[in-house]
Amino acid sequence: MNRLINIAKPTDIPASYQEQPIGLLLAYHNLNHPFEVYTTAQLLIGMCMDHRKHLHIPDNFAYILRSGGANLRYSEFKVSYAIAVGGVRSIALIGHTQCGMVNLVSKREQFVQGLVEGAGWEREWAEAHFQHFGPMFEIGDEVDFTLSEAKRLRLRYPRIQVAPLMYRVEDNLLYLIRED
């Protein structure tokens, strides 16, 4: 986690994000910046579906897409909608520590058994379901995946500012990910 940039005061926000939606997101969430009133979304936030994360942001400030591991590969139409119709020009891609999509294969038996016992699936269906979809949603390392997904989104949407961030569930703060 030495690749994380702590945002503890306004001057910690890089100049490229100052006075921009990404900078405001960091100021609202980490620095308790007073909320402004918004009638339209300023950015798109892509983040994990994990229940332990909650952002401190004003109403109407952002479109938020939640997907396992902050993986937006299968949500591109929604991303495109937020840009084309919603008019956003910034994307905050937020991975998080302790993500369940890391080493997903180690959770195979729990996943299968949970569908069998909890949802009433036949074991073969649950196994096939995991085999088919598990590889699509495995993210490897949280930081590395967030950086690679940010790079992919930048290539897909070259005029959109994309910031890779990490939410540490240990302290509930956002950190920029150093891109060297």
Same domain, residue pair 29 and 112: no
- Which domain, by its residues, includes 49? 4-100+140-177
Q: Identify whether residues 61 and 122 lie together within a single domain.
A: no
SS3 assignment, position 64: strand
Do 79 and 157 lie in one domain? The reply is: yes
| pTM given for the model | 0.93
Q: So what's the pLDDT on residue 1?
A: 57
9/20 same-domain check: yes
Total domains, the chain: 2
Whether residue 61 is found in the same domain as residue 79: yes
Going by DSSP bridges, is the β-strand pair 43-47/62-66 parallel, antiparallel, or unpaired?
Answer: parallel
Same domain, 118 and 56: no
Q: What residue has token string 């993210």?
A: 139
Does one domain contain both 83 and 128? no
Domain containing 147 — which CATH number? 3.40.1050.10
Question: Do 63 and 86 sit in the same domain of this protein?
Answer: yes
pLDDT tens-digit series, residues 29-74: 999 999 999 999 999 999 989 888 899 999 999 999 999 889 999 8
Q: What is the pLDDT of residues 119-176, one digit of tens each?
A: 999 999 999 999 999 988 888 899 999 999 999 999 999 999 999 999 999 999 999 9
For the stretch 73-122, pLDDT in tens is 989 999 999 999 999 999 999 999 988 888 889 999 999 999 999 999 99
At residue 23, the pLDDT reads 98
- Number of residues that make up the chain: 180
Looking at the fold, whether 83 and 123 belong to one and the same domain comes out as no
Looking at beta carbons, which pairs linking 140-143 to residues 24 or more positions away fall under 8 Å? 140/102, 141/102, 142/69, 142/95, 142/96, 142/97, 142/99, 142/102, 142/166, 143/1, 143/3, 143/4, 143/95, 143/177
**Helix (H), strand (E) counts: the chain:** 5, 6
